[in-house]
Structure 1
Amino acid sequence: MRQVLVSAFLLLSLSATVSGGPVSYGEVQTGKLFLDFNTALLERMGITVAIPDSLGSAATKVHGGTLKVLDASSSDLRFAVRDAGFRYLVSGELKTDTGLALSFGDDVIRSEHLYVRAMPGSLSFRIHTDDNFPLFELHNSHAWLDPGTGDLSFRHMDLRITVELAERLGYPRFADITVGEAHMETTAEVPPAALADKGASCGVLDTDGDVDVQLTGINSTSEIAREPGVRVAMAPDASLKNVGTADVAWFRAINPDGGPTPPFAQHPFLAYNLFRIADGVIEQIGRSQVKHAFFTVNVGSDCDCPGGQILHLGCQDVYGISSNGDRHYLASRQEVTASSGKWDSYGSHFDTYPNEPKDDFRDHGRSDHSDPFEHRMAVLEDDLLVEGASYFVEAWYLIKGDVNILNNMGFRQLDPELGGGAWSFTPFLTSFVNGPAIDAWVDPNATGNVARNTYVVTGDGHLKLAVRTTNLGGGLHRYEYALMNLDYDRQIRKFKVPAPPGVSVTNITFGDLDDEQSNDWTRARGSNAVVWTTKSPKSDSLDWGTLFNFGFTANVGPAETQATLMPLEPPSGIKGSSETLQATTLAPADLNKAARRTFDN
């Protein structure tokens, strides 16, 4: 049922009545199907896929395996074209000249050919066997129609196990797991007029207006790499839409990939995190580095321009799990200024790894990866096995000049389960919600003396401080705080919550992303506050895209007050930049102050 719903959504969003030029139709004649299986993942699942060697079989790709190329000399695949760009699949299939054999235990599925069948109204395909059994689905395609030749390519597609195959394997939870990446390069016939009918503004970056890109969905999350019994690397897919009034630059990171004209290398960055809520506390248990965006497919009923290096008004884009977890596009968060979306290619990871010198030219290639966890979101397996816990995956696009960061991000509750040698995280337990995942712990509209969630806006970036209080009985109250640094580049090195004299404070706690006690913040009961501080000025300060936990028990109930946040770096000089930050929260009430107020009355 899940796949039916996804297809229906794409059909509505991609093939609806549009306001641009007329829709024409093209047809694929021949092509090649490139399959890059995550062989390590398949081995853990007990699956073997055998494909005859063919041209290009020695190429190394995303998952470090061998790329298989299947020629296809037969096709009746049809697709829609509007404003000189690919819009959606209409019907038909592409038939490969050779097939495969898939083995699982004593079960073997053999097919002399593969049939790559369109899911009408979408960017997706299903791969069937000779006897019409659906093996895989291909999702999140970067479709590109060459305006010079009319040839059509589908790149960076997630290769997912179908519901039918998962059930046949005896593990229904295998359904929707991404087990590789697929590409298709095709020759196609397109009416010449359809290729020439491109809007005058297409391909021209118009920055007049407001930049506002909305993350519109997370539809799947999968394991990419695993160290059994220790940790697992995972990634979500992500879809978005330009809902602003300005175009958005989407240029590749660095030459020879990057564009030759300004704005050099300007593009969004995707970061994703994993959070766990257990025993009334939210904790961050996973964090990726940043993925550098490199192409926008530009589809949707409101989009009038073809794909390329500019996200035009009303256009939608997708990035799959394979793309978001591809180390070729991943680099350190520290290279990015989160609040402004600035990044410099010169001297970057792409420029200098694995070899110097700094020359603003990509040295970082797919063959340079020895660590399967490099820059990916790695999560300890024990952290995914907490009984009764809830888990939330969060994705966020950092975009230069965006006017609303809260719709750049979003989250969904997933359901981790280990079985059959692999982790599965879907089906999701909730629908997609815009905003940071801390909002799943405390409603941003919460009032009263039980919970609060405060959005802190400064000239240097944004943070969120949430608190949840619990009456433990016997006159004791537990205070749990979560401080999420969204894009505050100055970082936070001290957190202080009022605790008036006479209030008994016990069990002061702190939590960060790792298990190293050496970099934990110090905890102290001051004369009128509970204070947490880094052990040294730059020892595990709270950087952007990260959540830390603070807590204590007190013998006084909560009241509204102001917490103090101390930045690591000095004020930037930007309007709204200050020495310290204040955030409304809940803390033990000042009983003496209340008594004085009563006496005065």
Structure 2
Amino acid sequence: MIRPLTLLRILAAGLSLAIPATAQGPDITTIKIGGSGSDFSYYGQSGGIAAYSMGTTSCNPGTQVVNWTNSDHPVIGQNFYRLKDGRFEQIGQSWLKHGFCAVNESGCGSCQSTNCDTLGLGCADTYSSGLNDGAGGGPKYLVNALTGQHSHPYPSPSGPSTIRGRLQVAVPDIDPSQNTGAEYFAEAQYVSAHVAGAGNAKHSYSWRKLNVISTSNVDGSGPATTDQSAPYAWRAQDPSVTVVEVANTDEGGSGVHGHFAVAYTVTDLGGTWRYNYVVENLTSQQGAGSFAVPVPDGTVITNVFFNDVDYHSGEPFNGTDWTTSHSGGVFSWACTQTYQQNPNANALRWGTMYSFGFDADGAPLSTVGEIGFFEPGTGSVLTMAVDAPAGGPAAGTAYCSGDASGTFCPCFNFGIPGHGCENSATPDGARLAGAGDPSVSADTLVLNATLVIPGQPGLFFQGDEVVNSGDGVTFGDGLRCAGQNVMRLEVATASPGGSASTTIAIGAAGGAAGGETLRYQYWYRDPVGSPCGTGFNTTNGLEIVWVP
């Protein structure tokens, strides 16, 4: 089960580099997707499925040449993703291109060219979209991305000739007329035994934004972002997204780790919150059979969401959607069969990303999520920092909003009802909410500030009374709402997603008594671009009626 931990938030945000930093040993990264422009091929449709491929250019930024022989060559994976209505999903994947004869071209440093059985230091190698056509590729089930090993000979793909083996996407998922406001992305990955053995396997992931003009007309938009998997594309479009990379240490032997990328964001809907998560398996052979986050029993959960990506063209894997459960303070999604029951069940395998989500009446807290492994092997679970409604149902009543219903915000920087005044991160203003049991004896109440400034410190404080009959008075860029016998409770720094939560026992810290009504607020720094120039702001006020 999920263990309660006190966490420092993890920020795992990479940098976009044209030429990656030097890695030790052989290394591959993908420096171009679709060439420098629009090397994407469209092959047509069959049964409502559209088929594509894309060009890729690899680079060796390492300290050793990379093997590129008939028996020890890389394979290339191709994926498409969609961001729509705040949800990030994988919508397609291809069979694998098997590499041959590295051409050792310039374009990624000072190329030390070799023969085509190796990719030299600082050298690049390009496969056009035609060469990467999955119709001539091999299946994923014969490739172990952890070790890079793959079996030969490999079977040809099956199915309609127009789409078999190719990067397949359901037309309703990519047709712009059916996806107003959606954004699209491509991802490429090289899997090499030589590189995996050096512990550099995850470096090959790169992504690029797409311009989807029509189902039959797809090209690139901007350069590829190297050494980053697809969840970073989501973060690039939405700064509230947090990406955390985790690894199953030594899954493939000393220094050979099974890598995952987890990303999440929480959207304040005004009294409820929308939680969206993705998990991408980058290199793990054990894969994932479950994903879970803490959600106390009694929390109202609605709009539960799950998305996987279809295998095709003769891959043996089952596509049954994961099921959900909510018990023992945990909400989980899980594969319907274990590895022992069916080794080909719908596990989260390498080179794929599954998406999860729900709406809840509990506010976000920094807590611990879990990935449960599918295949037996090293360990049984991975844990990572996430936001989840770990505090339970909402508690307290908001007052003193920055929406012009009472005292005006200092420079007319009005927020929305139930929030404070506008800050540099959002015109809505920051929001303070409570979650848990406002009982003095239980003392599980947690205060949650959202839409504050990422990475900036703030202070939770308590007052006996409302200020100015509950309308507040101007204070910095916001309003001071809680007063009389003001008590500092806890300093908390906002997460990359702009949220901060208390970790102390609020009742005991503030001397609350059963039957007493107390008021709470969060003060926070806003040093760059604060609307009124004071450099700090506040949330709305929150009134809590404590019970014995």
> Normalised by the shorter chain, which TM-score bucket?
0.5 to 0.7
The equivalences for 1:231-380 within 5 A come to: 231-252=49-70, 265-300=71-106, 302-325=110-133, 327-328=135-136, 330-345=137-152, 348-350=153-155, 371-380=161-170
Please identify, of 513-522 and 461-470, the stretch whose mean Cα deviation from structure 2 is larger. Answer: 513-522
CA offset digits 1:243-274 (Å, max 9, x no partner): 1111111012xxxxxxxxxxxx0011100100
SS of 1:416 mapped into structure 2: strand
1:215 aligns to 2:20 (yes or no)? no
Verify the 8 A CA contact 1:470 1:479 in the aligned structure 2: yes
Q: Distance in 1 between matches of 2:47 and 2:161?
A: 17
What is residue 493 of structure 1 aligned with on the other side?
289
| Superposition map of 1:8-157 within 5 A | none
1:489 Cα deviation (Å)?
A: 1.0
Could you tell me which residue of structure 2 aligns to residue 430 of structure 1? 222
**2:372 corresponds to which residue?**
566
Distance in 2 (CA, whole Å) between partners of 1:217 and 1:561 is 37
* Alignment partner of 2:45 out of 227, 230, 235: 227
The answer to whether the aligner puts 1:536 opposite 2:337 as a matched pair is yes
Q: Is the 8 A contact 2:42 2:53 kept in 1?
A: yes
Question: How far 1:305 moved relative to its partner?
Answer: 2.8
Query: Is the Cα contact below 8 Å between 1:221 and 1:234 reproduced in 2?
Result: no
Whether the aligned pair in 1 keeps the contact of 2:39 and 2:128 (CA below 8 Å) is no
Which residue, out of 471, 486, 493, partners 2:268?
Answer: 471
Matching residue of 2:244: 454
Q: Helix, strand or coil for the counterpart of 2:260? A: strand
SS of 1:430's equivalent? Answer: coil
Gap regions ≥5 residues in structure 1 = 1-12, 14-207, 253-264, 355-367, 572-576
State whether structure 2 residue 385 is matched by structure 1 residue 584.
Answer: yes
How large is the RMSD of aligned CA atoms in angstroms?
2.9
AA aligned to 2:154 is: H
Counterpart of 2:355 in 1: which secondary structure? strand
Distance, in Å, in 2 between the alignment partners of 1:492 and 1:370 is: 31
Distance 1:313 1:289, change over 3 A: same
Kept after mapping to 2: 8 A contact 1:299/1:317:
yes
Residue 568 of structure 1, CA deviation? 1.0
State the distance in 2 between where 1:267 and 1:444 align: 34
* TM-score, length basis structure 1: 0.55
1:383 aligns with 2:173: yes
Give me the identity figure in percent. Answer: 28
Instruction: Name 1:416's counterpart in structure 2.
Output: 212
- How far did 1:544 drift? 0.9
Contact 1:442 1:468 in 2 (8 A): no
- Quickly say closer, same or farther: Cα 1:326–1:281, change in 2 above 3 A: closer
Q: Hey, what does 1:155 align to over in structure 2?
A: none
1:219-250 per-residue CA deviation (whole Å, 9 max, x = no partner) reads 23423421267222111111122111111110
Note if contact 1:212-1:243 (Cα within 8 Å) is conserved in structure 2. Answer: yes
CA contact (8 A) 1:225 1:373 kept: yes
Q: Which amino acid aligns with 1:226?
A: G
**Counterpart contact for 2:290–2:373, Cα < 8 Å:** yes
Change (3 A) 1:436 1:594: same
Post-superposition offset of 1:369: 9.4
Q: Is the 8 A contact 1:248 1:312 kept in 2?
A: yes
Letter in 2 for 1:521: W
For normalisation by structure 2, the TM-score amounts to 0.60
CA distance in 1, matches of 2:201, 2:180: 33
Q: What is the rounded CA distance, in whole Å, between the counterparts of 1:407 and 1:559 in structure 2? A: 31
Q: Match of 1:440?
A: 233
Contact between 2:273 and 2:359, CA under 8 Å: does it hold in 1? yes
Give the secondary-structure state (helix, strand or coil) at the position aligned to 1:578. Answer: coil
Output the amino acid matched with 2:346.
D
CA contact (8 A) 2:95 2:135 kept: no
- Corresponding residue number in structure 2 for 1:598: 506
- For the 8 Å contact 2:135–2:164, the answer to whether it is kept is yes
Task: Classify the secondary structure of the residue corresponding to 1:425.
Answer: strand
Could you tell me how far apart the structure 2 residues matched to 1:443 and 1:241 are? 23
For each residue in 1:102-154, what CA deviation from the matched residue of structure 2 results, as whole angstroms up to 9, or x when unmatched?
Answer: xxxxxxxxxxxxxxxxxxxxxxxxxxxxxxxxxxxxxxxxxxxxxxxxxxxxx
Aligned residue identity for 1:333: K
